[in-house]
Structure formats: structure tokens, C-alpha cells
Structure 1
Amino acid sequence: MPFTLDKGWLSPARHCESPHQDERPAGDISLLVVHCISLPPGRFGDNYIDDLFLGRLDANAHPYFEGIHQLRVSAHCLIRRDGELVQYVPFHRRAWHAGLSCFDGRERCNDFSIGIELEGTDTGDYTDAQYRQLAKMTRALMQAYPAITPERITGHSDIAPGRKTDPGPGFDWKRFRAML
């Protein structure tokens, strides 16, 4: 099924709108940032990522959550291990995914980027379903936002070096770029 984009929302993604977003400053959307996340670290398949991005993570559900439940973070989309696509923030709005960041001399990457999370760890590998979904979605985004070119697709580790390591060495950039 091909992707369609309506008012910043991608179909057929599952939509769960995050309160952790705001208006973008004027300008092109010109960067795609690949991240990874698992909550608690190394565990997959729970709804804790949704809970974090929706601002409802229970600090008592796991000891790790005591230190992160108050964070106000989000991403535009998450691709789960089985390839399920979840969208939290419409693309024309700013998701809070990059933090302190810089790409090609330009700071505040949230202002001009789309953030895609892969359910995973920065020390592990990703699934075939995730690569297929990421490539399909990236092609749709590149069509909708022509300023996003293959050279303007990067990892969180590249825009926040020394601070972030995701998506990590297990992410096969060569494979992903060949799928585009």
C-alpha cells in the first residue's frame, strides 16, 4: 500500500499525537534524522515508547523510568521491530527529537528536520521489516519534501557527536541507502 500524506499525517501509520511538539520556524524541511529507542533499554514490544512520547510514562513501571518519566521528548515517527509505523507529530510541526544538535553548520536540527525512531538499541541490529518500512517512508518523505536528499539523511550520532550514539554501528547505512 503506498503512503499518502494529509495535513502532515502519513497513512497508513497509526496516529498518536504527542503534546511534545510546537510550530516550526519558517524554512524548508531539509533533513531526516534516524534514531533508535527501546524502553526499558534493550526491551522491545511494550507501549512504553508511546507513553514517553505522549507524556504519560509511569515512573513506577520500571526503575529506569524514574530518571526519564518527566522528559518532554517526541519524534515524528517510530518504526517498531515488526515494521509497524506510528506517527506522533505531523511533519509540518517541530518534534522534540534532536536536542542540542548541528548539521552542515546549522544548529537546532529540530527546526528543519524530521525525526524517525527505530525500535532498537545502538548496539544491536535492526529487522528486515524496519529497513523496508524506513526505506518506503523515506522515499515518500523525499517526494513530499524535495530538500531531503540522500546526502541529508543522517543519524542522531552525526548531529550530536559525543552526546548521542544512535542508531549505532548495527544500523546498515549502505543497505538502507541502496533501498532508496
Structure 2
Amino acid sequence: MNPRISPQPKSLLKAKRKRRRQWLGVSLAVGTVCILVLVANLHRYEPPLPLLPFVYAFVPSPNCDERPSLSVINCVVLHSTVTHTTEETTRHFQNPFSKVSAHLVVGKAGEVVQMVPIEKRAWHAGTSILEGQERVNNFSVGIEIVNLNDGNDEYTEMQYFAIAGIIRFLRTRYTISDSHIVSHAQIALPPGRKSDPIKFDFDKLKRLL
């Protein structure tokens, strides 16, 4: 002990210890109450989906609305973003003046960003038809693949794996046949209005499903 420092009286030490215990008790009580309140209210904060288990971010787009009441999801439409990055794409879809969106964006590294809840209608297909049924937005899930769509920018292995994972997940909830996994070019009206996703290997994708 340093002889220059006078020892504190035992009564003072006891009082300090008592105050510490009181503060600790209050902190624990407050923390417990906060946890109980959070748990009690979890049902009020349901995810905006079903949120896909491998989505690394949800970046909401204002460009969506409710599907018609009798619509049944049975189709996946693949697009190319004609952008360099995921961030560039999400910024565009967050702009209310763009009037376009997709449910999901798949980046070059296979990262998946969700922008519209699956149960809502994203604005990705435009004027379109599939097997005689018009307005494909009503019954489809739109997936945008980050790619320049110039025929030279290759789709990455991670993008193929991510898209296959998305479709496998969707098939646990909806009936989506291989024939209803389509390109934007296949459904766009008038024919030839869209070309994306150029050089995407649908056979390769379907082998991964």
C-alpha cells in the first residue's frame, strides 16, 4: 500500500459497494424489461417477404404495388441490369421516377439484394405475355442479374448458384415449372422489344435446380 494514500474507512467502502450493486440491479432490470418488450412485440415486425434465407440486404423500392387478388405466382423472369454493380442497380430501382424494380438483384459475387416483397408486384416485365397470359408482372418473380447485357460480360458461377438457390427456395412455396423460368426477351411485347439476359445459359441453370 502506498503510505501517502490514506486508507478509506470501511463504512465508505461498504457504501460504495452497495451503490455498485444497486446500479447493477437497476441495469439488469432495465435490460430484462427491454428484452421482454422486444420479444412481446416480435409479431409486429414480420419480415417483408418470405425473406429469402440468403438475402444479405433488403433495400426497399417504392416501385411496386399489390398483385391482383386472384393472381398465383408461377413464373420467374430473369433480366440483365445493364449496369456494372449491384449498388448502381439498387439506386436506380429506389428512384421513384424510374418506375421500375425487381424482387431480387443478384450481384457478380452472388450476393442477393431483395427490393420488393415476393407477395407484392414488382415492375420488371412491362408489356408482356406468357402462354397467352398477359401482364406477367401479376404472376411472376423478377430477378435482375448484374450484367452489361452486351454479349461480352459473362455471368459468374456465383450468379448461377445464387439464382438456382433462389428458385429452389421459391419452389418450396410456389409451383414454378422449368418452362416458366424465362427471360425478359421471351415475354416482352412486342417481340424483340427486349434482349436480356443475352447469353445467359438456361440449360446450365436448370441443371443446378
TM-score (ref. length: structure 1) = 0.82
Change (3 A) 1:46 1:105: closer
Q: Which has the higher helix share?
A: 2
- Using the alignment, how far apart are the partners of 1:84 and 1:102 within structure 2? 29
- 2:92 is aligned to 52
Could you tell me how far apart the structure 2 residues matched to 1:74 and 1:139 are? 22
1: CA distance, partners of 2:48 / 2:92: 25
Residue 37 in 1 paired to residue 98 in 2?
no
- Sequence identity of aligned pairs in percent? 38
Alignment of 1:57-68 (within 5 A): none
Distance 1:46 1:140 in 2: 22
The answer to whether structure 1 residue 159 and structure 2 residue 195 are counterparts is: no
Q: Is this contact kept in 2: 1:121–1:166, CA < 8 A? A: no
Higher relative contact order (CA 8 A, sep 6+): 1
Give the count of matched residue pairs: 157
User: How far is 1:8 from its partner?
Assistant: 2.9
Give the direction of change, closer, same or farther, for the CA distance of 1:46–1:106 in structure 2 (3 Å limit): closer
Let me know the Cα RMSD of the aligned residues: 1.6
AA partner of residue 21 (structure 1) = C
Alignment of 1:1-180 (within 5 A): 7-13=49-55, 14-25=57-68, 26-39=70-83, 44-45=84-85, 47-55=87-95, 70-122=97-149, 123=151, 124-146=153-175, 148-160=176-188, 161-168=191-198, 170-180=199-209
1:29-82 deviation per Cα after TM superposition (whole angstroms, max 9, x unaligned): 01100001133xxxx2362211111117xxxxxxxxxxxxx3210000000001
Q: For residues 35 and 46 of structure 1, do their structure 2 counterparts lie closer, same or farther at Cα, with a shift above 3 Å needed?
A: closer
Structure 1: 5+ residue runs without aligned partners? 57-69
Distance (whole Å) between structure 2 residues aligned to residue 46 and residue 120 of structure 1: 10
Q: Which of the pair is proportionally richer in strand?
A: 1
**Unpaired runs of 5+ in structure 2?**
1-46
- 1:45 counterpart letter in structure 2: T
